[in-house]
Each structure stands twice: as structure tokens, then as C-alpha cells.
Chains A and B, each alone.
Chain A
Amino acid sequence: DVKVTQSSRYLVKRTGEKVFLECVQDMDHENMFWYRQDPGLGLRLIYFSYDVKMKEKGDIPEGYSVSREKKERFSLILESASTNQTSMYLCASSYTGVSYEQYFGPGTRLTVT
């Protein structure tokens, strides 16, 4: 079974803190993604990576950065957390190609107070 794991299910941080969200996949997928999900909105892409050390901005990259030093690991970094970054964060991974679906992690519910 494909497994995508995320470092925390729930996280509470204070405004201004630096926050790291970690994602690990075990299927040797080339592509990894970070999304956030807010009520009434679809999953919105923050960043994605199609190879080690490669990254591309998604639709809402402001306030976030990412790191992919190893193929299996993709980190999302909030340099200075703000209350409007309170959200559910989902990591996903996939092979490259038209027929391949994304596999998602369980999500991290981040609250910034």
C-alpha cells in the first residue's frame, strides 16, 4: 500500500513562530504537493515539486516556502505564522504521467493563535 505520512495531525502555534510541516512518501513518487483546505473552498495548491531540489509555486505560495532535499520528503515551512494560515494542510504525491492519481496524507490541522 502506498503510504503518505505527515508529521502531525494537529498543531497549535503562536503568531510569528516558524512552523515546519513534514511529509514523507514511500512509493518513490517523483511529484509531491502541498495543499491547504478551507471551508467552502477546494484544495488549493501551495507548492509542488517534480524532483529533488525542484519546486514550483502553486496558486497561493505567499507566506510559505518548501524544501525537498530527498525524494521521499517534502517540507512546508511557514517562516512567520499568521492567523490567516490557520487551516488544514494536506500533502500528496504521485508518479508522473496522465494516468496517475495523487495519494494523500492524513492532513495536519494547524491553528495559529
Chain B
Amino acid sequence: ILNVEQSPQSLHVQEGDSTNFTCSFPSSNFYALHWYRWETAKSPEALFVMTLNGDEKKKGRISATLNTKEGYSYLYIKGSQPEDSATYLCAFKIRDNYGQNFVFGPGTRLSVLP
């Protein structure tokens, strides 16, 4: 079974702080890397889909980078706000016969204190 790791497990920051998390995944058979945000009592929602080494994606104050050769992705949040409080999941998509199978990391739980 493939292993996807995320660090830190949880994080508490003050409103206005910038922060970043790491997702580590196997560097072989890479197909895609997804980031999802999962707010309490809601469904996980996709933030980014990343497919190419060196990809950088941005959505408002949130951005992500991808290094497929060394097997990691960073998610950055600039100027954290209380509404950013959520669990952030990364999902590694392997290249297999079906091409649709994901392996999720355990998530990073972010709490932004006002």
C-alpha cells in the first residue's frame, strides 16, 4: 500500500500569520496530486489539481507547489483568516490500470485564532 504523509498533523496560528504544510508521496508512477480543504460539517472541496513537476497554483491567498522528482508538495496560506480553519488533505493519484485510484494523506488540521 502506498504511503502519503502530511506534516504537521495540526497547526494553530494567529489571524494574519502565514503558514505552510507539506505533503510527501512516492516519486515513482506519479500521475497527479490533489489538495482538498475539508471544513467541519461540510464536504471536502478541491483546491488544486497538479500534474506537472514544477507546477505552481494559486487561488486567492492560497498557493501550492509541486516537486514530483523528490515527491513533495507544499501548500501555503498567506495572511491566515479564521475561515481558513479546516483540515487540508492531499491525495496522490497513481498511474495504474484504471488511472482513477487515489491515496490520501492523513491531513493537516489548521486552526486560525482571531
- Measured CA separation A113–B79 after assembly (Å): 44
A50 in contact with B43 (CB, 8 Å) = no
- Measured CA separation A106–B43 after assembly (Å): 5
B64 within 8 A of A: no
- Which residues on B sit within 8 Å (CB–CB) of A62? none
* B22-56 to A contact mask, C-beta < 8 Å, 1/0: 00000000011010100000111110010100000
- Measured CA separation A87–B1 after assembly (Å): 21
B1 in contact with A4 (CB, 8 Å) = no
Most buried by B among A44, A94, A101, A103: A101
- Which residues on A sit within 8 Å (CB–CB) of B106? 40-42
- What is the total number of residues of chain A having a CB less than 8 Å from a CB of chain B? 28
Q: A50-B100, A103-B43 are in contact. List 18 more A-B contacts (CB 8 A).
A: A4-B43, A33-B102, A35-B104, A42-B103, A42-B105, A43-B91, A43-B104, A44-B104, A50-B98, A59-B103, A96-B99, A98-B51, A98-B93, A98-B99, A99-B51, A101-B34, A102-B36, A102-B102
9 closest Cβ pairs, A-B complex: A101-B46, A42-B104, A43-B104, A104-B43, A42-B106, A104-B44, A31-B100, A42-B105, A98-B32
Most buried by B among A50, A59, A104: A104
A89 within 8 A of B: no
* A24-55 to B contact mask, C-beta < 8 Å, 1/0: 00000001010100001111110010100000
